[in-house]
Amino acid sequence: MNVPESHPRYESLLRRDRLIEGFRNGIVAEAGLIAHGRGEALDYLIGEKTNDFAEEAERVSAFQLLNASNPIISVNGNVAALCPKSLIELASTTGAALEVNLFYRTEERIAKIVEHLENFGAQNVLGAEPDAQIPGLEHARALCTESGIFSADVILVPLEDGDRAQALRDMGKTTIVIDLNPLSRSSKVASVSIVDEVTRAIPNVTKFAEEIKASGEGLSKTMADFDNERNLAMALEAIRKGF
């Protein structure tokens, strides 16, 4: 699309265009287009900006990923289409691995997403050869890798579905969810809920990780001073004001 940067919906239209292209290329599922529209509506209500509550969660997320023994970034079709370079930069900064994990899983889609990420410079992307399963989940979406999601201690799950997020928590993992809906099951069960648009959130987590590393700030920080329920309540209040 040839959209002038002065257009008030410029960033939003670019994201839509990336998803449409991803759909045509077999990366994004049909349902992914619907899910994006739902999130876009909520983004309008929070002002299409990163709010203070989101920044707090993003900074805590950076600490968690840097502190992790085996951090993993779960990748679905929407995220791969929207911000592949940002995913790779976050992985590089935090030492996390990327693993493709899909709700609407086909081997063809997995292969295309892996290839798409590799075209942007990703290396050793996991997910194409699953050798483990997330307990408590039926269907192919439970498939994962032993060295990746299955053994991860901290996992970033952008645009996640609720029962899989719950299953990961049940495995004892610290889960970081990016979801514009603070009332979603994913947001409610996450260790850290980032209520922000994913193309803003992922670069922000990278930025905070870089700042933490550059400052030499101790990586022993825990979430003791972070209250996820309070964070979600602040997001809900922002949405009410948006109405």
pLDDT one-digit tens code per residue, 100-141? 998 888 889 999 999 999 999 999 999 999 999 999 888 787
155 is a domain residue: yes
Angle at 49 between CA 34 and CA 62, to 5 degrees: 95
- pLDDT band for position 218 (50/70/90)? low
223 is a domain residue: yes
Look up residue 90 and give its two tokens. 């976050």
11 is a domain residue: no
CATH code of the domain containing 165? 3.40.50.12640
Q: What is the mean pLDDT of residues 140-164?
A: 89
d(Cα 29, Cα 116) in Å, to the nearest integer?
A: 15
Asked if the model's pLDDT at residue 170 lies above 70, the reply is yes
Asked if the model's pLDDT at residue 238 lies above 60, the reply is yes
160 is a domain residue: yes
Q: What does the pLDDT read at residue 225?
A: 81
Asked if the model's pLDDT at residue 92 lies above 80, the reply is yes
d(Cα 242, Cα 222) in Å, to the nearest integer?
A: 32
- Whole-prediction pTM: 0.90
Task: Let me know: does 134 contact 167? Beta carbons within 8 Å.
Answer: yes
Number of domains in the chain: 1
Range of the domain at 211: 52-242
6 is a domain residue: no
15 is a domain residue: no
42 is a domain residue: no
Asked if the model's pLDDT at residue 9 lies above 90, the reply is no
**Average pLDDT along the chain:** 89
31 is a domain residue: no
